Structure 1
Amino acid sequence: MSAGGPVTDQTVCLNGNSASFPPIQPASPEGICIEKLDNVSFTSMAPHPDGSNRIFLLTQAGKIFLADVPNQGSGTLKYNISQPFLDLTDRVYVDYEFGLQGIAFHPNFTDNGRFFVSYNCDSKTTPNCLGQCSCNPETGCDPSVIGIIDGAAPCQYQEVVAEYTVNGTSSSPVTATVANKNEVRRIFTMGLPYTTQHAGEIFFGPEDGYLYLMLGDGGNNTDGDPWNFAQKKKSLLGKSLRLDINHFPTPSEIVSLGLFGNYTIPSDNPFNNNSDSRPEIWALGFRNPWKCNYDSERSSYLFCGESGQDRANTSTTFEKVSLVTKAGNYGWRVYDGFDLYHPNYTPGGSTPPSSINPIFPILGYYHYETHSNTGFAALVAGFVYRAKTDPCLFGRFIYADLYGFDMWTAAEIPYMSGNFTTESVNFTCSKQSPIPCDFVNSITIPKLDFVFSIGQDNNEDLFYLAQTGVYRIVRSVHCGYKCDLDPDNH
C-alpha cells in the first residue's frame, strides 16, 4: 500500500555542465538475514554516544547493561550480567505495559556525562513517585468517574523522566562502565489515568538538542481515550512533548506555570504563549506511539510507529507509521488510521472531524494482513536502513510486528516525496549465526516469539530485540537470499 505526502521540497537542477539527481531508489530485497547474538530478552537499546561498538541494552524490569558488539559472524554480545550500568529495579513498576521505557544521552554526553531515563513507578509503594494527575478539571477529566480499575486508582501509576550521570565513576564519561546510582534531578513526573497506552519513549532532536517525550492517550483499551485527551491541548496525553533540559525553572516558576518537573519551554514550541494549550506540546493526536526514530541522513524525517484501537472485529484494527512534524495533528481519537473512529463512551466529549486537519499514516497494515494466528498485532517501528551490510536494504524503512511472524521494508518513491510503498519480506537466520536459532515448527522462520523493538548501533546496523534474544541483520548472502548489489552474489 502507499500513503503519505510531501515532507520537504527538493529541487533538481540542470545547468548544462553538471547534474544533480535524487539517490537511486532502493533495490527490492529478497529477504532479511539475521544472526543471533544473545539469549536474553531486552526491550530497548541505544548506541554509545562515543561512536564505538558499544551499546546500551534495557530490560523492562529496570536494568541497563553496557555491551560490546562483535564484528558480524565473529561472536556474541559481551557484557557483565552481574554488573549493570544502572539498576533501577527498586523504583520501576513492572506490568504488561509498565516498566523501564527508554534512555536518551545528552548531545554533549562525552563531555558532561548527562543521560536520561523514562520509566513508570507506583506512587503507593515508591518514594518520590508523585506528580500532577493528568485527569484533572483543566483536562475535563474526573477521577471519581474513572474509579478503581484493575485494582489501581487513577494516577496511582506515574510517568517519570529522570536525569542521571556517569560523573564521578570514571576519569571521563567515555570510559565509564557504570553510572552514579543517585538521581541528579527529576525532569518530569505525571500521574496516568489508566494502566495502558501511556508510551513513554524519550530521545533528543538531532538538530535542536531538545528532549522529546512521547506520551500515549493514557487508556483505556476498551473505550479508546474516553476523555479525548489526545485532541485536548490542555492535556499532555496523546502528545509529543519538547522540553529544554539545559535551562531550569525556579521552584516558583514550576508552580506558577504548572510544570511537571525541572524543564523549561523552548521558545519556538508551536503552542508556546497560547493560553488554550500546554506549551510543552510539539505534536498531538497520538494513541500509543511506540518507537520513534530519525532517518540519520534526513533529520526532518521522524518516523513513529503506533498501535491502533482494538475493534469489535480485531482483524480490522489498523497499525500505522507516521512522519511527525511540528504542530502536526495525527488524528486520534477522531480518526484511527484512515478511518473515522466512533467511540461508545465519551465523558470527555468529542472533537468534530471538520475541526482538525489530520496527518494520515505513511505506512501501516490491518491485523488480518499478518500471520500471527492470534487475531492480534502491534507495529514495531524501526529505522531507515543506512548500514553498509546489506545494500539491498539501504534507504528502506524497516519495521516488524510484535508477534514475530512479519517484517516489512518500505521505499520512498519518488525520493523526498513522503510517499512510501511497502512490501512484506521473508526473513530467516544465518547458518553462520554465533548462537544457533530456533525455528517455528522446524520451518525457516526464526522463533522470535515477541519483537519488542528494533535498535541501531553506531555502524547503523539494525537489531531485533525479541523475547528469545538479540538478533542482528547481516548480509543476505549468508541466508541464501540474492542481492544484485552485493558483489558476493555475482
Structure 2
Amino acid sequence: MINSPFESFLQHKTGKDLGFLTSTVRDVWKSRRSFCEAFCGSSEYGKACFSAEPVSLNNEHTPFFPKGLCLEKIGEGSYLNMAPHPDGSNRAFFANMQGKIWLAKIPVEGSSEILDIDESKTFLDISDDILFDTGHGLLGMAFHPNFIQNGRFFLSYNCDQMKNPRCSGRCACNSDVNCDPSKLGAGGIFPCQYHNVVAEFTVNGSSSKPSLAESANPLEVRRIFAIGVPQSGGHACQILFGPDDGYLYLMLSDGYNRDDPYNFAQNKKSLLGKILRIDVDNVPSTKEINEMSLWGNYSIPRDNPFVSDNELEKEIWAIGFKDTWRCSFDFERPSYFLCGDVGQDQYEEIDMVKKGKNYGWRVYEGPFLFQALESPGGNTSASSIHPTFPVMGYNHSEIENNTGSASIIGGYFYRSMTDPCIYGRYLYTDLYAGYIFVGTESREGSGNFSSGRISSRCAHDSPMPCSFVKGSSTPLLGYVYSLAEDNKKDIYYLTSTGVYRVARPSRCSYFCTKEKVVGLGNNRPHSSSPFCGGFDLFLLLLFLILHYIMI
C-alpha cells in the first residue's frame, strides 16, 4: 500500500513495488509533513512544500494565486502621492492632498527602521494655491526624466477661481462641445469655478546639483495646463512621464460625479474623460499657442493618434474614461500602460491603455451597457464605437456588501524580488475595502488576465505595530489612497492609517518556494531551508534508495 505522494513518485521512477518501505521511513516522511505544515504558515502551505508535484506559478489554464501578501508598517502619515527620487537612491517624495511635499529616506525592508519624514521640514508647500476638500487637492506629482540635471518637476492640483486669482483657464463647458455654462446645474458653485491645473516647478538654485536639493521654489515656473471643470465631481488629474517617449501623460475625468450628462467622455472636441499626451519640453510661442487653441504651455507630439483628425482634439491619447485613478507603466514592458477607472453603479475596471483606443464610458460601464438618467449633451450609440473592454475589474456587489461603496485604485506590476511569488503580477486595490487584488496574465503578451482577491497579514516583526480588522488577523488599512513604487520596485500602500510596504512572505508565515534567505531567521524556515525547500526531496529520495539497496 502506497501512503504518500513521494512513494507514488518513487514507484513511478523506479518501477518497483514500494511496499517494502518500513514504518521508520514513513515516520520520517510524516514528520517532514508535520514540520512543513507548522512552519510554512498553514496546512495549505505545508501540503504545497510537502508535495512531490511542482506547484505552477504561471499555469495558462488555472493561474496559481499566492495565498496572501505580507505587509510591514513603516510610517504613520497619510499621503496621497509617493514618487521615488530620480537619482536612484533610497529616497522618495511624499505628498498629501493639502499641498505639502516631503523628501524622505526609505529604510531597508526588514531592518526594523521606519520612514524618515520630518513633517516640520517640507520640500515644497503650495497649500495656499490649492483647493482642498473631499476629492480635491494636490493629486499628481511627476519628475522630469532629466531631473538630476535640470531639477524640473510637475504637479497637478485643483484650485478655486473664487479664492485664488491665479486660478484661471478656459471652461470645459463651451460652444465647441455644445455646452452652455449658464444652463449647468452646478450644485452650489459657479460653472468652471474649479480648475484642474498642471504646473512646472524647480528645485531651489542654491544647490550646485539639483539631485542634492532638499527644497524647491514655491513659485511656478510655468502653467503647463489649466481647464475649468463644469461641476465639483471627478478630478482624476494624475500625471506621468512615459518611460520610452519622455512625454507627459495627463489623466482627466469626465468632470461629474454621476452620469457624465454632457457625454464629455465620448465628445471628440472635449478633453474631459480622456488621457492626454503632451510635450512639455518644446513649448511654442504665445502666438502659436493661441492659434492652435492649446490649453497651456506645451506642444503636441507628432505621433499622437489624432494629429491629422480634425474631429478630435490633438492632445488626446485615448478616450472614454470616467475617472481614472492611478495609472502606471510596467517597468519591464513599457508598452503595458494600465489604469484603474472608477465606476459608478456596477463595475470598477482596470484598462490596458493603447494609443487611440476608446474605453467605452458612458456607453459602457466596464462590460455593461450604461443608460444615463439625464442626457442634455446627447448620447453615443453602442454601434458607433468599437470599445476596448477592461482586462480586470470587479462588480460593486463584491465590495458593497461589506462597505456600501467601491472605488478602484489602479496599481503596479510587481517587479521586486522581495516577494518572488508575486513577481510579474499586477497588484491593485479598492479605496474603501482595503482588499488586495492580484492579476496574472495567463500567457505573457496575450493581454488576457485572471484576477482574484487575496488575504494580507502584518509582519510579526513590523517596525510599527498594525491595527487589525475586528476578529481577524487582517491589518486595518483604513482608506487606501494610492499604491506606489520605489527605486527598488518595492510596492507601498498609502492609506489613512499609515504607509505599508510589501515584505518578505516568511515574515508573515507565508510560504514562497522562491524566497531565498540564508538560515532559518525569526524561527521561520525559508525556501533555502533543508526542510521546506525542494532540495529535501532529493535528500529523501537518496535516503530511500539507499534504504532499499541495504535491505
The alignment's TM-score, normalised by the length of structure 1, stands at 0.92
Which residue number in structure 2 is paired with residue 198 of structure 1?
235
- Equivalent positions of 1:399-438 (< 5 A) are 399-438=428-467
Distance in 1 of aligned mates of 2:367 and 2:422: 28
Q: Is the 8 A contact 1:158 1:192 kept in 2?
A: yes
Q: Is the 8 A contact 1:404 1:447 kept in 2?
A: no
Opposite residue 340 of structure 2, the aligned amino acid is: G
After TM superposition, which residue ranges in structure 1, 4 or more long, deviate above 6 angstroms? none
From 152, 172, 179, the counterpart of 1:134: 172
Equivalent position SS for 1:90: helix
Shift, 1:73, TM fit: 2.3
- Equivalent positions of 1:148-187 (< 5 A) are 148-149=186-187, 151-187=188-224
Deviations 1:164-218 (A, max 9, x none): 0115031211101111121100000110111111210000011110001000101
Which residue number in structure 1 is paired with residue 389 of structure 2?
360
From 357, 371, 377, the counterpart of 1:342: 371
From 115, 126, 130, the counterpart of 1:88: 126
Which residue number in structure 1 is paired with residue 249 of structure 2?
212
Which residue number in structure 2 is paired with residue 78 of structure 1?
116
Opposite residue 374 of structure 1, the aligned amino acid is: T
Q: Is the 8 A contact 2:400 2:406 kept in 1?
A: no
The structure where strand makes up a greater share of residues is: 1
Shift, 1:348, TM fit: 0.4
Shift, 1:483, TM fit: 1.2
Q: Is the 8 A contact 2:58 2:442 kept in 1?
A: no
Which residue number in structure 2 is paired with residue 232 of structure 1?
267
Larger Rg: 2
Shift, 1:114, TM fit: 0.7
Q: Is the 8 A contact 1:370 1:405 kept in 2?
A: no
Opposite residue 478 of structure 2, the aligned amino acid is: D
CA gap of 1:392–1:96, structure 2 versus 1, over 3 A, is same
Q: Is the 8 A contact 2:359 2:388 kept in 1?
A: yes
- Equivalent positions of 1:110-129 (< 5 A) are 110-129=148-167
Which residue number in structure 2 is paired with residue 398 of structure 1?
427
Equivalent position SS for 2:322: coil
Opposite residue 446 of structure 1, the aligned amino acid is: P
Opposite residue 363 of structure 2, the aligned amino acid is: V
Which residue number in structure 1 is paired with residue 477 of structure 2?
448
Bigger shift: residues 375-384 or 237-246:
375-384
Which residue number in structure 2 is paired with residue 3 of structure 1?
none
From 292, 300, 305, the counterpart of 1:257: 292
Distance in 1 of aligned mates of 2:225 and 2:434: 36
Q: Is the 8 A contact 2:204 2:215 kept in 1?
A: no
Q: Is the 8 A contact 1:27 1:392 kept in 2?
A: no
**Does the alignment pair 1:290 with 2:328?**
no
Equivalent position SS for 1:252: helix
Which residue number in structure 2 is paired with residue 314 of structure 1?
none
Equivalent position SS for 1:230: coil
Which residue number in structure 2 is paired with residue 12 of structure 1?
none
Distance in 2 of aligned mates of 1:367 and 1:397: 20
Which residue number in structure 2 is paired with residue 309 of structure 1?
344
Q: Is the 8 A contact 1:92 1:119 kept in 2?
A: yes
Opposite residue 314 of structure 2, the aligned amino acid is: P
Shift, 1:258, TM fit: 1.2
Which residue number in structure 2 is paired with residue 373 of structure 1?
402
Shift, 1:246, TM fit: 0.6
Which residue number in structure 2 is paired with residue 273 of structure 1?
308
From 87, 91, 97, the counterpart of 1:60: 97
Deviations 1:56-101 (A, max 9, x none): 1110110111110001122100022111111010001011111001
Shift, 1:273, TM fit: 3.4
Shift, 1:147, TM fit: 3.3
Q: Is the 8 A contact 1:28 1:392 kept in 2?
A: no
Equivalent position SS for 1:199: coil
Q: Which runs of 5+ in 1 are unaligned?
A: 1-22, 311-316
Which residue number in structure 1 is paired with residue 135 of structure 2?
97
The structure where helix makes up a greater share of residues is: 2
Shift, 1:251, TM fit: 1.3
Q: Per chain length, whose mean CA-contact separation is higher, i.e. which structure has more relative contact order (CA < 8 Å, sep 6+)?
A: 1
Distance in 2 of aligned mates of 1:142 and 1:174: 47
Q: Is the 8 A contact 1:30 1:483 kept in 2?
A: no
Which residue number in structure 2 is paired with residue 147 of structure 1?
185
Distance in 1 of aligned mates of 2:208 and 2:163: 36
Distance in 2 of aligned mates of 1:389 and 1:399: 17
Distance in 2 of aligned mates of 1:429 and 1:389: 15
From 17, 40, 48, the counterpart of 2:77: 40
Equivalent position SS for 2:383: helix
Distance in 2 of aligned mates of 1:203 and 1:50: 17
Shift, 1:158, TM fit: 0.3
CA gap of 1:195–1:353, structure 2 versus 1, over 3 A, is same
Opposite residue 115 of structure 1, the aligned amino acid is: F
Shift, 1:301, TM fit: 0.2
Q: Is the 8 A contact 2:352 2:390 kept in 1?
A: yes
Shift, 1:250, TM fit: 1.3
Q: Is the 8 A contact 2:403 2:433 kept in 1?
A: no
The alignment's TM-score, normalised by the length of structure 2, stands at 0.82
**Does the alignment pair 1:325 with 2:354?**
yes
Opposite residue 425 of structure 2, the aligned amino acid is: R
Distance in 2 of aligned mates of 1:132 and 1:115: 24
CA gap of 1:49–1:27, structure 2 versus 1, over 3 A, is farther
Shift, 1:116, TM fit: 0.3
Q: Which runs of 5+ in 2 are unaligned?
A: 1-56, 517-525, 533-551
Equivalent position SS for 1:132: coil
Opposite residue 456 of structure 1, the aligned amino acid is: E
